[in-house]
């Protein structure tokens, strides 16, 4: 438990600074960057504190690629568009903004906890499920990357102004980037599960909580509901948009 204290303090510290910066300067420009940075820093700290075995190297590299790709993209996007509209009502409200950053802090802890435990171990045995988990992660990583690129290109095209995206992966899922995100963490869960489950029932529950929470967060709290609420305001009375929603699956 003592080994877990440092990763926890790092997550709290980074997000605490992010909250203060966001409220004092009334900006969203570091919000998503700090989210990804928290995973990156904590993963490497745990790795350097652990056994540094081959499976641990693979795991920390998967988290690193995910964090650099997502954090870099979101950082670029917020500086391109200037602000995140989701925070327009939340930004000036101390309590609401603090609530968001608290939720983000707790979410990071829940999502990365199994990976941190895995990385902190001294002795590590290989397991065939690690290959399956790595493959699922790779599918999710590629899917999320492609979906983000497709949407960014769509938005930047003046011809698509005030239109919803219905091409590429977005033709088959309303939120393919979220599907990719969920698959990334599901893959990491499968990767660490054979090792973590040897510690007992509650460790298994903690491990399964990681992809379960990211799905819950995106589907019911901070992802899909906010996007769909905004979309309904723009195109709710458009029959073509309603038809798109009916024929296109939301997530998994």
How many whole angstroms from its chain centre is CA 76? 16
pLDDT at 230: 86
pLDDT score, position 86: 72
Going by the DSSP 8-state scheme, the letter that residue 249 receives in this structure is B
pLDDT of the residue at 77: 79
Task: Specify the residue for token string 């790779």.
Answer: 138
Identify the pLDDT of residue 30: 84
Q: Which residue in 107, 153, 118, 77 sits closest to 11, CA to CA?
A: 107
Q: What is the pLDDT of residue 1?
A: 54
CB-based contact 129:207 (threshold 8 Å): no
Q: Is residue 40 a contact partner of residue 71, using CB atoms and an 8 Å limit?
A: yes
Which residue, 180, 172, 177, 174, is CA-closest to 152? 177
Distance (Å) of CA 182 to CA 105, 144, 237:
18, 9, 31
- Residue 250 has φ and ψ, to the nearest 5°, of -75, -55
33: enclosing H helix or E strand:
helix 31-49
- How many residues are present in the chain? 252
User: Can you give the pLDDT of all 252 residues of the chain as single tens digits?
Assistant: 577 899 999 999 999 999 998 888 888 888 889 999 999 999 999 999 998 999 999 999 999 999 999 999 888 877 777 676 777 777 888 898 899 999 999 999 999 999 999 999 987 778 899 999 999 999 999 999 999 999 989 988 888 888 999 999 999 999 999 999 999 999 999 999 998 888 888 889 999 999 999 999 999 998 899 889 889 989 989 999 999 999 999 987
The two structure tokens encoding residue 247: 């024929």
Residue located via tokens 């979410």 = 107
Q: Per the structure block, which two tokens stand in for 20?
A: 């203060």
């Amino acid at each position: 438990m003592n080994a877990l204290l440092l990763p926890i303090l790092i997550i709290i510290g980074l997000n605490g600074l992010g909250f203060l910066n966001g409220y004092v300067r009334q900006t969203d420009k570091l919000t998503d960057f700090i989210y990804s940075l928290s995973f990156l820093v904590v993963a490497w700290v745990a790795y350097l504190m652990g056994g540094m075995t081959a499976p641990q190297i693979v795991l920390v590299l998967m988290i690193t690629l995910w964090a650099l790709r997502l954090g870099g993209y979101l950082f670029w996007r917020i500086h391109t568009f200037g602000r995140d509209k989701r925070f327009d009502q939340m930004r000036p409200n101390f309590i609401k903004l603090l609530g968001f950053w608290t939720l983000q802090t707790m979410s990071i802890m829940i999502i990365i906890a199994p990976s941190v435990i895995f990385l902190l171990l001294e002795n590590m045995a290989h397991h065939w499920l690690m290959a399956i988990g790595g493959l699922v992660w790779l599918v999710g990583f590629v899917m999320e990357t492609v979906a983000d690129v497709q949407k960014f290109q769509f938005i930047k095209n003046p011809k698509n102004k005030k239109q919803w995206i219905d091409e590429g992966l977005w033709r088959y899922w309303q939120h393919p980037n979220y599907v990719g995100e969920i698959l990334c963490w599901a893959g990491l869960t499968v990767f660490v599960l054979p090792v973590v489950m040897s510690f007992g029932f509650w460790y298994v529950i903690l491990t399964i909580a990681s992809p379960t929470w990211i799905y819950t967060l995106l589907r019911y709290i901070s992802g899909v509901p906010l996007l769909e609420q905004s979309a309904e305001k723009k195109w709710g009375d458009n029959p073509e948009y309603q038809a798109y929603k009916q024929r296109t699956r939301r997530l998994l």
